[in-house]
A and B are shown apart, each in its own frame.
Chain A
Amino acid sequence: MAEVSLTTELLQYVANGIAKGSTYALMAVGYTLVYGVLQLINFAHAEVYMLGSYFAWFQAKWAGYLPDDKGARAETVPIGMVALFVAGAMAACALVGMLIERVAYRPLRGAGRLAPLITAIGVSLLLQYGGQVVFGTEPKLFPTFAETRVYDVGGVKFPNTNIYIVLTSVVLMLGLTLFVNKTRPGAAMRACSHDMRTARLMGVNVNATVSLTFAIGSALAAVAGVLVAMDQPAITPLMGVRIGLKAFVAAVVGGIGSIPGAALGGLLLGVSESVVSGLWKPVYSEAVAFVFLIVVLLVKPSGILGKSVREKV
Chain B
Amino acid sequence: MTALLETRGLTIRFGGLCAVDCCDLSIQPGQLFGLIGPNGAGKTTVFNMLTGVYLPSEGTVHFGGKLVNGRNPVQVARMGMSRTFQNIRLFDELSVLENAMTGAHQHARINLFDSLLRTGRHFREEERQRDKAYRLLEFMGLEDRAGLPAKALPYGHRRRLEIARALATEPKLLCLDEPAAGMNTGEKADLAKLIRRIRDELKITVLLIEHDMKLVMGICEVVQVLEYGKTIARGTPAEIQSNPRVIEAYLGGG
**Interface residue ranges, A against B (CB under 8 Å):** 313
Contact = CB atoms under 8 A, between A and B. Distances in A.
A313 B54 CA distance: 10
Contacts of A313: 44, 48, 53-54, 85
Contacts of B44: 313
A313 B45 CA distance: 9
For chain A, what secondary structure do more than half of its interface residues adopt (helix, strand, loop), or is it mixed? loop
Interface residue SS majority, chain B = loop
5 contacts: A313-B44, A313-B48, A313-B53, A313-B54, A313-B85
Interface string B46-59: 00100001100000
Interface string B34-72: 000000000010001000011000000000000000000
B18 to A, nearest CB: 17
A311 to B, nearest CB: 10
A34 B47 CA distance: 38
The 5 A-B pairs at the shortest CB distance, nearest first, are namely: A313-B48, A313-B53, A313-B44, A313-B85, A313-B54
Nearest to B14: A310
Nearest to B44: A313
A313 B19 CA distance: 14
A313 B44 CA distance: 8
A313 B53 CA distance: 9
A313 B43 CA distance: 12
Interface string B189-231: 0000000000000000000000000000000000000000000
A313 B85 CA distance: 8
A112 to B, nearest CB: 13
A85 B44 CA distance: 60
A162 B254 CA distance: 64
Contacts of B85: 313
Nearest to B85: A313
A121 B96 CA distance: 36
Contacts of B48: 313
Contacts of B54: 313
A307 to B, nearest CB: 13
Nearest to A311: B53
B240 to A, nearest CB: 27
A285 B54 CA distance: 41
A53 to B, nearest CB: 45
A313 to B, nearest CB: 6
A27 to B, nearest CB: 35
A6 B235 CA distance: 77
Nearest to B86: A313
A60 to B, nearest CB: 55
A313 B48 CA distance: 8
Interface in B160-184: none
B148 to A, nearest CB: 23
